[in-house]
């Protein structure tokens, strides 16, 4: 309780990383890519009705990526992934292949990618980690990319493969990421969901302190304990 009262700015920052769009209704969020709001509202209504769900999924088919980039359309895609049957949802996800890195930069599509990781089997969502390979540190430092990495840690890293390799790639930069505005969220997620070896690497990074220098481990730990971001990883 003491931390939340002494660090209100950070507490508010933590709440920015929810995994769902927060608009109260579709009409609150105007379309950004020319997607008709009326069409989105109709599809969402049909998705909620089992009798008309097939028609809604048919209307969405072929437009998953374009709707994912839209402020309102991304909510329809997320709902479709929740209510569709396994094969139908898998077909929708396949339309996102090749777009994971681009979605990381989208204020709307990043929510869809997070939903894919949360709702789909790892065999279906594995393409996200595969497409982000080589860009793990960039993703960890990005305000939307860090969310995607946290979801991967929560739902996919235990399966190994590309997800585990992506986390290992991040840990090459653990010293800097522990202190980064967005990267520290990923480091916290590694401590909660990563392997013992991955957690050990973060502990070593916290002891070592900033990568710019300072040979004393004790000094490195103290500097991190006093840092506004790294101190939350230490907790």
Q: Answer whether residue 11 is part of any domain.
A: no
Same domain flag for 135 and 91? no
Q: Answer whether residue 180 is part of any domain.
A: yes
Q: Answer whether residue 19 is part of any domain.
A: no
Tens of pLDDT, residues 75-94: 999 999 999 999 999 999 99
Residue 167's CATH number: 1.25.10.10
Same domain flag for 88 and 177? no
- pLDDT confidence tier of residue 26, bands split at 50, 70 and 90: very low
Segment 103-106 long-range contacts (CB within 8 Å, at least 24 positions apart): 103/68, 103/148, 104/132, 104/139, 104/142, 104/144, 104/145, 104/148, 105/142, 105/144, 105/145, 106/68, 106/69, 106/144
Q: Answer whether residue 69 is part of any domain.
A: yes
Same domain flag for 110 and 68? no
- pLDDT confidence tier of residue 3, bands split at 50, 70 and 90: very low
Q: Answer whether residue 220 is part of any domain.
A: yes
Is the pLDDT score of 20 beyond 60?
no
Is the pLDDT score of 22 beyond 50?
no
pLDDT of res. 55: 96
pLDDT of res. 230: 60
Same domain flag for 131 and 199? yes
Residue 20, classed as helix, strand or coil, is coil
Mean pLDDT throughout 42-49?
A: 95
Q: Answer whether residue 17 is part of any domain.
A: no
CA distances 107 to 112, 129, 162, 189, 226, Å, are 10, 19, 24, 21, 32
As for how many domains the chain has, the answer is: 2
Same domain flag for 47 and 88? yes
Of 47, 65, 95, which marks where a domain is finished? Answer: 95
Same domain flag for 74 and 186? no
Same domain flag for 57 and 156? no
Same domain flag for 170 and 63? no
Same domain flag for 86 and 124? no
Of 95, 118, 145, which marks where a domain is finished? Answer: 95
pLDDT of res. 33: 52
Q: Which residue has the higher pLDDT, 219 or 225?
A: 219
Q: Answer whether residue 8 is part of any domain.
A: no
Residue 55, classed as helix, strand or coil, is helix
Of 51, 78, 95, which marks where a domain is finished? Answer: 95
DSSP code string of 76-137:
HHHHHHHHS-HHHHHHHHHTTTT-HHHHHT-TTHHHHHHHHHHHS-HHHHHHHHHHHTT-HH
Residue 102 CA to its chain's centroid (Å): 13
Same domain flag for 109 and 223? yes
Tens of pLDDT, residues 165-217: 999 999 999 888 888 889 989 999 998 999 999 988 888 887 776 655 545 55
What is the percent of the chain where pLDDT is above 90?
60
Same domain flag for 170 and 215? yes
Range of the domain at 137: 104-234
Q: Which residue has the higher pLDDT, 41 or 4?
A: 41
């Amino acid at each position: 309780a003491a931390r939340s009262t002494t660090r209100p700015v950070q507490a508010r920052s933590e709440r920015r990383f929810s995994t769902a769009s927060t608009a109260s209704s579709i009409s609150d969020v105007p379309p950004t890519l020319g997607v008709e709001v009326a069409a989105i509202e109709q599809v969402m209504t049909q998705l909620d009705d089992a009798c008309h769900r097939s028609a809604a999924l048919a209307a969405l088919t072929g437009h998953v990526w374009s709707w994912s980039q839209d402020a309102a359309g991304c909510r329809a895609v997320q709902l479709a992934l929740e209510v569709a049957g396994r094969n139908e949802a898998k077909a929708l996800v396949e339309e996102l292949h090749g777009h994971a890195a681009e979605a990381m930069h989208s204020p709307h599509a990043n929510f869809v990618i997070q939903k894919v990781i949360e709702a789909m089997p790892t065999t279906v969502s594995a393409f996200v980690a595969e497409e982000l390979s080589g860009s793990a540190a960039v993703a960890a430092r990005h305000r939307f990319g860090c969310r995607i990495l946290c979801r991967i840690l929560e739902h996919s890293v235990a399966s190994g493969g590309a997800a585990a390799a992506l986390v290992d790639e991040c840990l090459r930069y653990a010293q800097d990421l522990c202190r980064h505005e967005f990267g520290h969220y990923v480091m916290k997620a590694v401590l909660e969901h990563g392997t013992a070896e991955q957690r050990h690497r973060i502990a070593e990074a916290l002891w070592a302190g900033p990568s710019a220098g300072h040979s004393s481990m004790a000094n490195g730990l103290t500097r991190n304990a006093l840092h506004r971001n790294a101190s939350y990883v230490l907790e």
